[in-house]
Structure 1
Amino acid sequence: MHIFFDTEFTQLSHEAKLISVGMVSEHGGEFYAELADTWRLDDCSDFVKNDVLLHLEGGSAMLTKAELCLHLGNWLESFEVPVYLVTDAPTWDWPWLDYIFDEDHLLPANLERSPVLFTPSEEELETLHQQEQFRHHHALDDARALRLAWLNHSRVD
């Protein structure tokens, strides 16, 4: 099972803090959460303040880190087969899994331990965002766009 994922975080630095995570299975099942207890507005770069935070949903999407670990772990384990996480930015997105799952201690058993890199062109992703009216810099919508690009490439290959 391929699951496409994206994260949003406070800044592009080693001091970044996780804001949100979005995942979409190849069959269309979705998971989205925003962290309620890991970051503050003061932690955010101007870019994040202007381009990420305005897309946050709040409400039922808000979870503590402990709740995220539990709910995301259960969601991933529900697939039962090996799960391969697909990202276009493994350097930025993949380390957050160690953070969420306490550095391997709580990783779901069916989760493969390295990401699948898929890098569609920026033009392709922009077209998908426009066609589907996806929000830019929203973890779930960016994961949705990545999934659609993957499916488009799968049809061509």
Structure 2
Amino acid sequence: MRLFLDCEFTQLSATAKLISLALVSENGRELYVELLDGWRADDCSDFVKEIVLPQLWGGEYAMPIIEARKALLRFLATYDEELEVITDAPIYDWELFCELAYHNGRWPRNVRNYPTDATTLSPTSDGAVLPHHALLDARIIAGMFRP
């Protein structure tokens, strides 16, 4: 099963901190979380402050890191088959996904421990311009690779 991953984070640097994470599966199931902690507005680039932060949904999606991790691990555990995580930004999105998925010295048993770079795949359709919202972007990326 393929899971299409997208993240929003504080800035394009090695010190990037996760703001939101989304997974969209081939069968259409979705996970979207926004982190309430682990980052501050002062950590964000001007681009993130102007474009990303105003698009956050809040409400039921906004939660502390510990709750976001639980939600992610519960979502991943609902699949019996091996999960292939596909992202168009493996340097950032994959690393941030790993920080959330790797817990208490354990990796989720059904998740490959390496990403697939979406830019190496042949899309079945053209993607729309990504709006810089993790869930909306993940939906667009998933749609590019569905038959």
TM-score normalised per structure 1? 0.85
Distance in 1, Cα, partners of 2:90 & 2:142: 15
How many residues align? The count is: 144
Q: What corresponds to 2:53 in structure 1?
A: 53
User: For residue 77 of structure 1, what is the aligned residue in structure 2?
Assistant: 77
Structure 1 residues not aligned, in runs of 5+: 130-134
How far apart are the structure 1 equivalents of 2:108 and 2:101? 9
In the TM superposition, what whole-angstrom CA distance separates every residue of 1:38-59 from its partner, at most 9, and x where no partner exists? 1111111000011101110001
Other-structure match for 1:137: 132
Instruction: State the Cα deviation string for residues 102-139 of structure 1 (Å, max 9, x = none).
Output: 47823211011011111278x9322xx5xxxxx70000
Name the residue aligned to 2:99: 99
What SS does structure 2 have at the residue aligned with 1:24?
A: strand
State the secondary structure of the residue aligned to 1:94: helix
Q: For residue 150 of structure 1, what is the aligned residue in structure 2?
A: 145
Instruction: Return the offset for 1:68.
Output: 1.2
Percent of pairs with identical residues: 40
Computed over aligned residues only, the root mean square deviation of the Cα atoms, in angstroms, reads: 1.9
Contact 1:125 1:146 in 2 (8 A): yes
Q: What TM-score do you get using the length of structure 2 for normalisation?
A: 0.90
> Would you say the 8 A contact 2:22–2:31 is kept in 1?
yes
